[in-house]
Structure 1
């Protein structure tokens, strides 16, 4: 309630007592853009403008680990440990391979 407009915050509760649910990803930050009565207006990282209660709790500042997506994994094995599969374009597959099967099945239904 006493935060000035423009305050950066993260880990915001939607309903008091439910725990933080908004702006929790690495590098995420939401801004307080207005206060009216018992509600506050926030601009979320997605660009959505949302009303929350002024009684809900939040952490001031930005979530850490901002550059997590820029970190080079170094080799294919490191990606494999994270469960990331290789990406192969359907165009470069052999004609016998089941490329883009779901797309063609969805398009050709009833024909």
Structure 2
């Protein structure tokens, strides 16, 4: 493939199937080729190294204007499976730190009931390392 080619449905490892740039209107660019590796710029702006043996489809994914269409009513959003948006202030205190209070109280509790518990929970979940992290050259846009 020549440099600057627009591609989508890209494999990260050979024989695993397309995993990158598969969303509506997504397209990645082939920036460079060195040895057995190719450099791609993904739709997110990330620059990634991929083996030249990996398969990809030339062109851009179709149905680009799907996000431009106005759904109109809440009912039509509901039919598509989109959940309603609910503000934190109107929730219960057990569901959200800003919830609770009498009437139209701005914030139910003055401070988070368990700041340490929340921090511990986030650390417990953590963010695992992926095998593809080593191929990322630049995370910037």
**Shorter-chain TM-score category?**
0.7 to 0.9
Question: What is the CA–CA distance in structure 2 between the aligned matches of 1:70 and 1:37, rounded to whole Å?
Answer: 41
8 Å contact kept, 2:88–2:96: no
TM (norm. structure 1) is 0.81
| Unmatched segments (≥5 aa) in structure 2 | 99-108, 117-141
- Structure 1 residue corresponding to 2:59, chosen from 61, 65, 88: 61
8 Å contact kept, 1:7–1:60: yes
Q: Are residue 21 (structure 1) and residue 26 (structure 2) matched? A: no
8 Å contact kept, 2:25–2:60: yes
Q: Secondary structure at 1:68's aligned position in 2? A: helix
Q: How many residues align?
A: 105
CA RMSD of aligned residues (A): 2.4
8 Å contact kept, 2:71–2:77: yes
Per-residue CA deviation, residues 23-63 of structure 1 (Å, 9 max, x unaligned), is: 00000000000100000000001111000010111000110
TM (norm. structure 2) is 0.65
8 Å contact kept, 2:3–2:31: yes
